[in-house]
Chain A
Amino acid sequence: MSNTQSIIQLEEKAVNIRESIIRMLEHAGSGHSAGPLGLADIFTALYFDVMRIDPKNPTWEERDILLLSNGHCVPVQYATMAEAGYFPKSELLTLRKFGSRLQGHPERLKLPGLENTSGPLGSGLSQGCGIALGMRLDKQKQRHVYVVTGDGELNEGNIWEAAMFAPKYNLNNLTVIVDRNNIQIDGPTEVVMPLEDLKKKWESFGWHVLEIDGNDIETVIDALTMAKAIVEKPVCIIAYTIPGKGVDFMEQDYHWHGVPPNHEQAKQALHELRTLRGKIRGEHE
């Protein structure tokens, strides 16, 4: 299989994941739309190419660890896990329902394959630091920890406490991916609480920083591969993503940050995603 062929297949998986997200959120009647859609390409890259995982054995001792620090984006993780075979896709429609394993925010004890419990923002990176330290104490050199954070989440002080800690102990088995989609609940990040110059901030804390297009799967894979190869510092990947990516009327509109589509909107969104799927093979030809 050529590299182009495999990228096409991954892009198609990302469309499947986006379709799942729309269906789940419509059915749930609540939840976040924009963030999960924007993260679909990063999650596809992590679960289907980069991470050493075994969906049939979620507690495999050699596995890589992924922590979703911005827990409200968990629909993308559930959709990706179902796509990878951790559980049946039919279960996705139980999202946020009473008795479901798919809680509104991820809970480790509810669903095998989730590595932590999150939702309150800012604590994923420090938990990632702890896991990276634990792996080092156990001399597990092959394993790697990935932490996905939001950009609005970087308003939290706990993030910067962890940002100081990881370089101190040179946690080069830890990579943080900042979902730089420029929106948060009250509006654009640069209006609510300016983050720039974000690259310089992370660099000055002692991180090696890569800036990438977070909606280009091949670029994401390249960056994650490079991050693992860089050993003198922990790596921060600032991944620029389009919130609502794949659904025209949701893209770049912060109003879609915290709401689900209704039935008509979901129908329109699924139609757009079908069109996107049709374009994928055409674009690579």
Chain B
Amino acid sequence: MKDLHILEFSDKLAMVPIRVGFGTGLVKAGELDTNVVALCADLTGSVKMDGFATAFPERFFEVGIGEQNLVTIAAGLALTGKVPFTASYAAFSPGRNWEQIKTTACLNHVPVKVIGAHAGLYTGPDGATHQMLEDIALMRAMPGMVVMAPCDAVEAEKMTLAMAKDDRPNYMRVAREATPVITTDKTPFEIGKSYVFAEGSDVTIISTGTMTAPAMEAAEKLFKDGIDAEVVHVPTIKPLDTETILKSVRKTGCAVTVEEAQIIGGLGSAIAELLGENYPAPMKRIGMQDRYGESGEPAELLAHFGLDAKHIRLAAHHVHEQKNERK
């Protein structure tokens, strides 16, 4: 058995929606700092802002179904020294209000927090319109924006607390369905840092958000195949922890990126840019291959579009072979 120093994969992992971690983190952030305020666009329960709304009704603002209003009112609040958290579905925020986030949060340089809930294929039966897969690319392109995707509810809570103390605009994407809890209270988290969740020497699997759990699962299977995979979890896609990632790929010589998002402009692009400029190596990007999703159960969709441990394992074999052919 591969020694995974975070967990041993099993069916016994707790299953908790990542958005729940955001909700508990937001209440704690509100307790710690009276400047923390929250705004929602008619999805308070769904995005887990209800806890904050109940605990701090005078600091909660319901803006109705208007995502442009959501982030621009937040920018105004931030101009007065408040730390506004805004939440809607990622398909609408930042899907619909990109320019407002650029001009009034980033160019204005105020700490508006954009929470994109129901991101990715885990939104399942709602279909392509609601499965936000372009958010990482959209937000990465924006100077000044911090882009993050927690791997589980525990990390989402830590991320939320860290966002409340960060003086930059931040984007965090969270998923709807329950996903495995793979970190603990003791797992380190800092904005801008990536973490080696499993050490290995043959291939680096670089994952973010919900895809870190299947990346760990793939690493276990690869070990049985005779390939010792290193898993680097990238909770902060921008700014990227180039040091940790380059160190790993210099050691293993090849990489697979995994994200529940479009490979164009997402984590895969970020890693391709980094490796292309610093340490060209065989790599493969797992993620949405320039397509839209469709209705279905999350597990069906993830398997259909190739975002699971099986496909990560195949990709790892592929880049590992490429590396060996070059020798």
- The answer on a CB contact under 8 Å between B58 and A130 is no
Contact flags (1/0) for A221-234 with B, using CB distance below 8 Å?
00000000000000
B73 on interface, CB distance cutoff 8 Å: yes
Which residues of chain A from 154 to 174 have any CB-CB distance to chain B below 8 Å in the complex?
157-158, 161-162, 164-165, 169
Chain B: which residue is nearest A67 at the CB level?
A: B76
A122 CA / B84 CA spacing, docked (Å): 20
Stretch at the interface among B7-15, B23-31, B99-107: B99-107
B125 on interface, CB distance cutoff 8 Å: no
B-chain residues with CB within 8 Å of residue A134 when the two chains form the complex:
76-77, 79-82
- The answer on a CB contact under 8 Å between A162 and B59 is no
A169 CA / B81 CA spacing, docked (Å): 20
Contact of B74 among A130, A135, A169 (CB under 8 A): A130
Stretch at the interface among B64-72, B133-141, B201-209: B64-72
Which residues of chain B from 50 to 104 have any CB-CB distance to chain A below 8 Å in the complex?
58-59, 61, 63-64, 66, 68-69, 72-82, 84, 99-100, 103-104
Chain B: which residue is nearest A118 at the CB level?
A: B103
Among A107, A126, A137, residue most surrounded by chain B Cβ atoms (within 10 Å): A126
Chain B: which residue is nearest A65 at the CB level?
A: B79
Contact of B73 among A107, A116, A133 (CB under 8 A): A133
A137 CA / B109 CA spacing, docked (Å): 21
A112 on interface, CB distance cutoff 8 Å: no
A194 on interface, CB distance cutoff 8 Å: no
A283 CA / B105 CA spacing, docked (Å): 47
Q: How large is the interface on B (under 10, 10 to 19, 20 to 34, 35 or more residues)?
A: 20 to 34
Q: A133-B77, A165-B73 are in contact. Are A127 and B37 (CB under 8 A)?
A: no
B187 on interface, CB distance cutoff 8 Å: no
Chain A: which residue is nearest B67 at the CB level?
A: A161
CB of A48, distance to nearest CB on chain B (Å): 24
A-chain residues with CB within 8 Å of residue B63 when the two chains form the complex:
161, 165
Q: A158-B100, A162-B72 are in contact. Are A127 and B66 (CB under 8 A)?
A: no
- The answer on a CB contact under 8 Å between B77 and A162 is no
- A sample of 14 more A-B contacts (CB under 8 A), given A129-B73, A158-B69, is A107-B107, A117-B107, A117-B108, A120-B100, A123-B100, A126-B68, A126-B72, A127-B72, A127-B75, A130-B72, A130-B79, A134-B81, A158-B100, A165-B73
A-B contacts, 19 of them at CB < 8 A, read A116-B76, A116-B79, A123-B75, A127-B104, A130-B74, A130-B75, A130-B78, A130-B79, A131-B76, A133-B61, A134-B76, A134-B80, A134-B82, A137-B37, A138-B81, A158-B66, A161-B64, A165-B64, A165-B66
Task: Point out residues on B near A: beta carbons under 8 Å.
Answer: 37, 58-59, 61, 63-64, 66, 68-69, 72-82, 84, 99-100, 103-104, 107-109
